Amino acid sequence: MGIIDSLCEMFSPFSSRKKKDMLDVVNDIACDVASIRELNEKRVQKVREYKKQLEELQAKREEEQKLFMSVVDHLDDMVWAKDKHGRYIMANKAFREKFCYKMEWDELSGKTDIEIAQIFKKKVGDENHTFGEVCANSDEVVIKTNQAREFLEYGNINGKLVKLIVNKSPVYDGDGVLFATCGSGRDVTWLHDKLEKALNFCSSCKGTDAYDMLEQLFKEIEFKEGDHAGVR
């Protein structure tokens, strides 16, 4: 035992045994601290790895979204999706340009049909945008029936009567719970008008197979109040 240790032993209120026990406790605590630090380092490393994986998944998801939107933006048909509350969560270029007066997606996102209709009416006048006012809410029909449906819808867009064949379907998550509806719309105004003109021109041929075929085609896309309930 050295001089300092001897002096400490002489004046210390603790015996050598007590001091040894205390040192053992201190050493145990030091070991515990070292273990905790090592564990924390491992956890930090895991967090970094998880963060990197999440970033990679996010990047992949963004690439897939860009690919999906690049495909639907090249379609001439209007394509969109809404959540269960009727708020838009996706809309392609054709829908925004043909139906929404070239509205940007950031402005359309999260809005309902009622909200965007108010914007359109302010833009072109109440009487110049009436699309969907005569028909019932076809989204509610799809949600209620849990079935894909086809509807015949019409109304004024920028002062022009537009007639659409609209297909809508429910969308489910991984647990099979309905969380959205998706839809597509095809402008058949020109076809309806041409068939109507053809029927008028061929009115003298009533009873013939050719006239019956034209009449059947016309009836399939004839727009009358209440046709929103029609299903094919």
Q: Which two tokens stand for residue 177?
A: 């719970």
pLDDT recorded at residue 70: 94
pLDDT recorded at residue 138: 87
pLDDT classification of 84: cutoffs 50, 70, 90: very high
Considering only residues 109 and 150, tell me which one the structure prediction assigns the higher pLDDT. Answer: 109
SS (H, E, C) the chain: CCHHHHHHHHHCCCCHHHHHHHHHHHHHHHHHHHHHHHHHHHHHHHHHHHHHHHHHHHHHHHHHHHHHHHHHCCCCCEEEEEECCCCEEEECHHHHHHCCCCCCHHHHCCCCHHHHHHHHHHHHCHHHCCCCCCCCCHHHHHHHHCCCEEEEEEEEECCEEEEEEEEEEEEECCCCCEEEEEEEEEECHHHHHHHHHHHHHCHHHCCCHHHHHHHHHHHHCCCCCCHHHCCC
pLDDT (tens digit per residue) in 194-231: 777 776 777 767 777 777 777 777 666 555 433 443 33
Mean local confidence (pLDDT), 104-117: 95
Rounded to the nearest 10 degrees, the angle between the axes of helix 189-201 and helix 209-220 is 150
Mean local confidence (pLDDT), 11-23: 62
pLDDT (tens digit per residue) in 36-59: 888 888 888 888 888 889 899 999
Percent of the chain with pLDDT over 90: 48
User: Cα–Cα distance between 131 and 154 in angstroms, integer?
Assistant: 6
Rounded (10°) CA dihedral 146, 147, 148, 150: -110
* Contact criterion met (CB below 8 Å) for 131 and 156: yes
For the ranges 27-31, 68-72, 98-102, the lowest mean pLDDT is seen at 27-31
Mean local confidence (pLDDT), 125-132: 92
Mean local confidence (pLDDT), 118-141: 87
pLDDT recorded at residue 228: 40
User: Cα–Cα distance between 34 and 123 in angstroms, integer?
Assistant: 69
Percent of the chain with pLDDT over 70: 80
Decide if pLDDT at 73 tops 80: yes
pLDDT recorded at residue 147: 92
